[in-house]
Amino acid sequence: MVEKNLRNEKGSITLFVLLAIVLFLIVIVNMFITSTNKNRIQVSELDKIKEEYGKDIENIDQIYAEELEKAQKTVEDLKVGDRVYYDTGDTSVGDEGIIECIVLYDKAYNDENGTDYGVQMISRDVIYKGNNVDSVTLGTMGDFNASRESYNNALGILYEKAQEYLNSADKTETPVIATSARCVGSKPDDPDWDTEEMYISEEPYMAEYNNTLKVKDDYYSIDLNQMRAIENIDVDTASESYWLASRDVFSNQEGTAFHVQTTGDYYELCIIASAGSFAIAEGLADTHGFRPVFTLKDGVKLTEGDGVNTPYTLAP
């Protein structure tokens, strides 16, 4: 009886061991299948990544750098009122050639107004060389003919002055940072625009001077109105008055005065006064500071700063 019970117990143990081995094999096989599936999925994902980026993922650092570059902000991201540094290349200007500017026109402005000004920025203040304002004088005191010539050429004179602040690298056929420079108050989409139209008056005393002095224009108001709409651009409270590249004419029975627009008190460059049967022509001179406006090249990068607390730095 005892021998029979022993055989039964041995049989039970053998069956238990077999069941345990089978269970263990099932677990091992299941783990193998799961691992194989994971590897297959990983290989598939890697193939997808390679196909997506067209590169080997071993170059992940390069891919990251390229994707970061794509996310790099450019001048197209600038907003009206943003602060930006511009390197004029002239170490006598500003801080070793660097001047701070404020964005005057941005992409949103152009989209909303149907203009094609590009992204433009204006110097934060008049230009200084050392401790002195880099001013411009128009006209010649006491010389009517010289003052008349200066008045007629004023917009060209102010345009040429703006070129002094354009970095030499931007004066080439392939500019690096800015594509143009102009005097504030000039036509925003045509920096060196000027009129050929001459002033004509019906006043008798003007007979000798008709068709010898250019007419007025109102293009200065485009910049001026935009500047006044931007909180952090000083217009009338800049450290010095400055030229606005537009002409103005005032006339009545007593006389006609010709001058170039400014933000401060000014002298007429030419005055033609009635003196009975003839006229008295007088030439004067006037001096003011200068604020250039730069049009930025598309795609130029914003590398440092946030445009608010610290001006952006520009890079090709």
Tens-binned pLDDT, residue by residue, of the chain (316 aa): 544 444 555 555 666 666 667 666 666 656 666 655 555 655 565 566 556 555 555 666 665 555 555 568 999 999 999 999 999 999 999 999 999 999 999 999 999 999 999 999 999 999 999 999 999 999 999 999 999 999 999 999 999 999 999 999 999 999 999 999 999 999 999 999 999 999 999 999 999 999 999 999 999 999 999 999 998 887 876 678 999 999 999 999 999 999 999 998 888 999 999 987 789 999 999 999 999 999 999 999 999 999 999 999 999 9
List the beta strands (DSSP E) in the chain: 83-87, 98-105, 120-123, 128-129, 132-133, 136-139, 178-183, 243-251, 255-262, 270-275, 278-283, 285-288, 292-296, 301-304, 313-315
At residue 50, the pLDDT reads 58
The 10 Å Cβ neighbour count of residue 104 is 24
Provide Rg for the chain, Cα atoms. Answer: 38
- Domain boundary assignment for the chain: 2-70, 75-315
**3-state class (DSSP) for residue 279:** strand
Report CA 201 to chain centroid distance, whole Å. 42
Query: Is residue 244 a contact partner of residue 228, using CB atoms and an 8 Å limit?
Result: no
At residue 232, the pLDDT reads 84
Contacts by residues 204-208 (CB-CB < 8 Å, ≥ 24 positions apart) = 204/274, 205/255, 205/272, 205/273, 205/274, 205/275, 205/278, 205/279, 206/251, 206/256, 206/272, 206/279, 208/279
Residue with tokens 């703006």: 162
At residue 54, the pLDDT reads 58
At residue 2, the pLDDT reads 44
Question: Which has the closest alpha carbon to 310: 86, 80, 83?
Answer: 83
Question: Which has the closest alpha carbon to 191: 170, 214, 212?
Answer: 170
From CA 42, how far away is CA 12, in angstroms rounded? 45
Q: Which residue blocks in 120-266 are alpha helix, DSSP H?
A: 144-152, 154-163, 220-228
pTM given for the model: 0.77
Query: Is residue 307 a contact partner of residue 152, using CB atoms and an 8 Å limit?
Result: no
At residue 35, the pLDDT reads 58
Residues in the chain: 316
At residue 8, the pLDDT reads 53
From CA 299, how far away is CA 302, in angstroms rounded? 9
The 10 Å Cβ neighbour count of residue 151 is 23
At residue 5, the pLDDT reads 47
At residue 19, the pLDDT reads 66
